[in-house]
Amino acid sequence: MAKGKKTTIKKIKKLSSDTIMINTNVYVILEDTADIETAKTMKVTSHGNRILRFEDEKKKARIDLIRELTITKYTINDDERAAKFKRGYDLTLLEEADTIETIAHTNCYTNARAIIDSYTDKQGKNFDKRAGINTFYLSSEG
């Protein structure tokens, strides 16, 4: 869907507490609101976010496409290669001695970002003091 485009909602159904079907497409609910099934239009913002609009213009909800995302931890043993890897996350720099570990799977970018932040943010519950130095947490689709 093109950015800035508004889509009229013909059919809407809440499938669970965190998923909703709109015009045969299933989305993840990021910010819920009461009576979400009364949304009239969906707009894609310039950042790619999907906003549901209602009769009451003050009422809004945010949704995102369901995706299969994997969060992976890369630990590079050589500091020089780690510095190069940090510049562009070039996976060809990895060697057999480096470790690759799958941390989690999620269904939207917002959740993936929250998981990565729990490892890279000093206030995060899983904070890794080597994050960004020789340990990197990346998300990938697929």
Of 65, 53, 54, the residue nearest 25 (C-alpha): 65
pLDDT above 90 coverage of the chain, percent: 56
- Residue ranges of the domains in the chain? 6-65, 69-141
- Which tens digits make up the pLDDT trace of 66-91? 889 999 999 999 999 999 999 999 99
Residues of the chain with pLDDT under 70: 1-4, 47
pTM: 0.73
